[in-house]
Amino acid sequence: HAADAHRTDLMTITRHVLNEQSKHPESKGDFTILLSHIVLGCKFVCSAVNKAGLAKLIGLAGETNVQGEEQKKLDVLSNQVFVKALISSGRTCVLVSEEDEEATFVDPSLRGKYCVVFDPLDGSSNIDCGVSIGTIFGIYMVKDKDNVSLDDVLQPGKHMVAAGYCMYGSSCTLVLSTGNGVNGFTLDPSLGEFMLTHPDIKIPKRGKLYSVNEGNAKNWDTPTAKFVEKCKFPKDGSSPKSLRYIGSMVADVHRTLLYGGIFLYPADKQSPNGKLRVLYEVFPMSFLMEQAGGQAFTGEQRALDLVPTKIHQRSPVFLGSYDDVEEIKALYAAEE
């Protein structure tokens, strides 16, 4: 009977979020409308990514194809789709995209109460070989709709009201938290709907995997180097961890969330702030990790406590299973 209920009682992402919002009597459905525009963007990118090889959508921005039409690189195209979808939702006021140098301030006539920070297509160096890539987003609430500024997005990650990512992989999976746990939805291509497939995701307390670009090892700081050494040569009698690294943050974090373990993008001598961007990479993923029972640390503090001063600022990050992140925190504490 349970199986039958699954087949006939369809829990779409919209229905799920409406259920959640109905617990807040003051909610007027604005978040649901905003989310449906984000979901539309994700479906578009999913479809474009799946057709990329065929449609020759890949290639350099500005390059022309055989028909002489301008071709857009997939990440440029994805960005335009998200920006337009978010503005037309009528629910946004400030947008920060990895693709745009400056923040976008929505025209007052279309302004709503949410700020969205996003990376429309992360890991795009992986497109040409068909490896999983993704969209990452975080959502803040504006303080005063009639008086918006960059300060509305230069907020610590703990002020986000929601965060998520969509992974374009062997299936298209959207993982979302509105601050009340984490849920995963998988796109059913025949329905064109994201269906709840991973309710209430919790990350294992400790994992058997670690995920880092070891090619940077010669430039690592001592705590990172010690931590990775411990993963390979544990001295407490435990088994060594396995290394998994895709080089696509959404895919590496998704695996970490489901299987447990730790993902590291540390500082190194070449890049003292690491590589990943605070607003639309580090914060949303840290928000999801904490909501799933894990942790996220910058090497100095809880990642979600960081107060950014620039929209494209970078930060080192260590995130994943609670106990694994505890270990790297202890190594940094011992440094001081």
Contact partner at residue 178 from Mg ion, ligand AHM, none, CB < 5 to 8 Å by partner kind: none
Residue 31 and residue 36: Cα distance in Å, rounded? Answer: 9
**Residue 81 has which token pair?**
């789709």
Instruction: Specify the residue, 78 or 183, whose C-beta has the smaller distance to ligand AHM.
Output: 78
Confirm or reject binding of residue 122 to ligand AHM (CB under 6 A).
Answer: yes
**Segment interacting with ligand AHM (CB under 6 A) among 1-9, 123-131, 192-200, 321-329:** 123-131
**Segment interacting with Mg ion (CB under 5 A) among 113-121, 152-160, 250-258, 327-335:** 113-121
Identify the CA nearest to 285 among candidates 117, 41, 171, 154.
117
Identify the CA nearest to 116 among candidates 83, 88, 76.
83
Identify the CA nearest to 198 among candidates 187, 189, 185.
185
State in angstroms the smallest separation of the CB of 264 from ligand AHM: 10
Q: DSSP for 267-320, please give it.
A: -BSS-TT-SSBIIIIIHHHHHHHHHTT-EEE-SSSBGGG---SSTT-B--EEEE
Q: Give CA separation, 229 vs 239, 246, 281, 297, in Å.
A: 13, 20, 26, 19
Confirm or reject binding of residue 124 to ligand AHM (CB under 6 A).
Answer: yes
* H or E stretch at 82: helix 74-88
Using CB under 6 A, pick the residue from 112, 123, 204, 223 that binds ligand AHM: 123
From residue 238 to residue 267, the character string flagging contacts with ligand AHM as x (rule: CB under 6 A) and all else as - is: ---------xxx--x---------------
Confirm or reject binding of residue 211 to ligand AHM (CB under 6 A).
Answer: no
Total binding residues for ligand AHM by CB under 6 A? Answer: 10
CA 61 to the chain's CA centroid: 24
Contact partner at residue 213 from ligand AHM, Mg ion, none, CB < 5 to 8 Å by partner kind: ligand AHM
Contact partner at residue 124 from ligand AHM, Mg ion, none, CB < 5 to 8 Å by partner kind: ligand AHM
State in angstroms the smallest separation of the CB of 124 from ligand AHM: 5
- Sheet containing 162-168: give its strands across: 104-105, 92-97, 111-122, 133-141, 162-168, 172-177, 183-188, 193-198
- What residues from 36 to 55 belong to the interface with ligand AHM (CB under 6 A)? none
Residue 216 and residue 197: Cα distance in Å, rounded? Answer: 36
As a whole number of Å, the CA-based R_g of the chain is: 20
Confirm or reject binding of residue 315 to ligand AHM (CB under 6 A).
Answer: no
Using CB under 6 A, pick the residue from 187, 275, 284, 286 that binds ligand AHM: 275
Q: Which residues of the shown chain bind ligand AHM in the complex (CB under 6 A)?
A: 122-125, 213, 247-249, 252, 275
Q: Which residues of the shown chain bind Mg ion in the complex (CB under 5 A)?
A: 119, 122
